[in-house]
Amino acid sequence: MQQIAQNFGKFLFPVFLLITGLFTLIFGAVKDQPSLFIISGFAVLVMGVVALLYALKKITFKIQIIVTIVSAIIAIVLGYNDYRTVKNDIDFVEQKKVVYSEVIQRLKDIREAQVAHKKYNGDFAPTFDSLITYIGEGKLPLVKAFGEVPDSLDEATALELGIITRDTIMVPVIDNVFLNANAQKDRKFRFNLDSLRYAPYTGAEFIMRTSNIDKGGVKTPVILIEDAKPFDPTEPLKVGSLTDASTSGNWSGE
């Protein structure tokens, strides 16, 4: 009985290493893990084979120690590198969410500015200089009601009876488009006219191009705004199109 227990204990560690190595290899192949993960699993498997050969007295203790130490170092180094690779990927995704959230807000601001410019000027501003000047110094007409509508009447009736009046006033573009309470309530980042042309974090100026296309025989202004140095080169953010009369962004939710 004691001999059986000794034999069981002698083979327990080699079997454990073999099972661990095989499981790592199979898991890595099935789950499409990085090659470093699979190699580290192979190193553990080699340790198991060596330990088993020693238990069977096929190799010396010295050889077992040398191979085990080398394999353990390889497994630890590769395992750590694999962990760092996965962690870096996770960190990249998290940082991308933060960066893209602010870049999208900036692109929306440029779009809002250009839509206002087109509405009251008939076309898009061709450069950031002209757009920023328009937003900072320009004015646009706003119809404002003066007086108070009684509870017993609707606005149209009150206007007809002369209880209220309407007048068109000129208001600053920046106040009406960006700084009014309605525009501010859903903002995550503060509007800054001086930074409008620049992408957050990289500081690169957005690429902005304007043109005209024929839409049913009508000359239609179009615009395309792109991030010149995207955080993720495989997923650059942009607004609009030079081939279609669209000002939609290419991110999720648009």
Q: Per residue of the chain (254 residues), what is the pLDDT tens digit?
A: 555 555 555 778 777 877 887 887 777 777 777 776 777 777 777 777 877 777 778 888 788 788 778 777 877 887 788 778 878 889 999 999 999 999 999 999 999 999 999 998 999 999 999 999 999 998 888 777 666 777 767 767 766 666 667 777 778 889 888 888 887 887 888 899 999 999 999 999 999 999 999 988 899 999 999 999 999 999 999 999 999 999 999 998 87
Cα(82)–Cα(213) distance, rounded to whole angstroms? Answer: 51
Q: CA 67, 69, 71: angle at the middle one, nearest 5?
A: 65
pTM of the model: 0.68
Distances (CA, A) of 19 to 14, 36, 54, 59: 9, 19, 17, 21
By the 8 A CB rule, do 79 and 37 touch?
Answer: yes
Query: Which contacts of 83-90 are long-range, i.e. CB under 8 A and separated by 24 or more positions?
Result: 85/34, 85/36, 86/34
The H or E element that residue 46 is part of is helix 35-55
CA dihedral 87, 93, 96, 101 (to 10 degrees): -130
Residues β-bridged to residue 144: 167
Residues β-bridged to residue 219: 214
HSE-CB for 37 with a 13 A CA cutoff: 17
